[in-house]
Structure 1
Amino acid sequence: MVDLMTALALAITIEGLAYALFPEGMKKMMAQVMEQPSATIRVAGVTAAVAGVFVLWLIRG
């Protein structure tokens, strides 16, 4: 459980840094995402989730 909370905290930190360092870029990116069809966003989300599980599997063995 500690590992899960650590990973969540790290993800929030990285996302927060992106918004703090590149606010205009993040606004542009969000606008571009809003223009995409839901299916495209869903595929990107599933792909990211599968990649995350794969990396976790590689690390944890």
Structure 2
Amino acid sequence: MSMTIPRKYHSSMYQSAGLYGNNDGDPTNDFQLPNGTVLSNNMTDRMIYHYAEQCKK
């Protein structure tokens, strides 16, 4: 699955986070917990579900 953010939002003024990543062009740091811990980008479905639960908080 992929998502595209319009080019006009590609700046530090508009930062994404959570399930859609952080929009910095580096897919290896898209899964980041609220405490700053970066998770592997090749997680299992179960791990992604747990990550999503953490993003709700």
- The normalised TM-score by structure 2 is 0.37
Higher fraction of helix? 1
- The normalised TM-score by structure 1 is 0.36
Q: Which has the higher contact order (CA 8 A, sep 6+)?
A: 2
